């Protein structure tokens, strides 16, 4: 017997069910593609976390075995791009490997953020195989607060 997620009583909305299905399919693809071996030999993608902290987005990417010279970070409007190349360290060409799971080659990751980034204020650091970038939200993308003057009626 299949379990069905309980929902409070509401009028039937076929689009809500389609949106739920789309979210579930996206979740399954994100789980399977981000954790599995690459489909093409030599292709790989680093794991990335992006979160909001204050008026900035923080991007952290795991790039083990790479140096800062192997990585390129670029920002345009609200799109952040990371690209790089991880060289194979295989020196023993005549050896018979029992297990070889490490991935090498070029990668390219593109992320669209919810707000425009101020590219002139981006700060990035690379330490212990982790790229960390602070991506400040542009002033033009921040909500404007307008002070309203209230006059008392006499």
Asked, for residue 15, whether it belongs to a domain, the answer is no
What is the CATH number for 77? 2.60.40.790
Q: What are phi and psi of 20, to 5 degrees?
A: -60, -45
Asked, for residue 116, whether it belongs to a domain, the answer is yes
Quote the CA–CA distance of 76 and 113 in Å, as a whole number.
11
Asked, for residue 96, whether it belongs to a domain, the answer is no
Asked, for residue 150, whether it belongs to a domain, the answer is no
- Give, for all 154 residues of the chain, the pLDDT tens digit: 667 676 666 666 777 778 888 888 887 777 655 444 444 445 678 899 999 999 999 999 999 888 899 999 999 888 999 999 887 766 656 677 777 777 778 888 999 998 889 989 999 999 999 999 999 998 876 777 778 888 887 7
**The model scores a pTM over 0.95:** no
Residue 72 has which token pair? 């390129």
Asked, for residue 8, whether it belongs to a domain, the answer is no
Looking at residue 37, what DSSP letter applies? P
Residues contacting 88, CB < 8 A, separation 6+: 104
Rg (CA), the chain: 23
CA-to-CA dists, residue 125 to 29, 68, 90, 147, angstroms: 30, 9, 28, 39
Structural domain count, the chain: 1
Asked, for residue 98, whether it belongs to a domain, the answer is no
């Amino acid at each position: 017997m299949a379990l069905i997620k309980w929902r409070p009583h509401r009028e039937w909305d076929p689009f809500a069910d389609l949106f739920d299905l789309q979210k579930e399919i996206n979740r399954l693809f994100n789980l399977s593609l981000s954790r599995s071996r690459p489909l093409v030999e030599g292709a790989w993608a680093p794991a990335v976390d992006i979160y909001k902290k204050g008026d900035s987005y923080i991007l952290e990417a795991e790039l083990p075995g790479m140096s800062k010279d192997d990585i390129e970070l670029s920002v345009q409007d609200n799109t952040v791009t990371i690209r790089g190349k991880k060289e194979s360290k295989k020196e023993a060409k005549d050896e018979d490997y029992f297990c070889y799971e490490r991935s090498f080659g070029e990668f390219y990751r593109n992320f669209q953020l919810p707000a425009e980034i101020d590219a002139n204020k981006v700060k990035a650091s690379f330490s212990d195989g982790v790229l960390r970038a602070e991506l400040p939200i542009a002033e033009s993308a921040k909500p404007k607060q307008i002070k309203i003057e209230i006059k008392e009626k006499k």
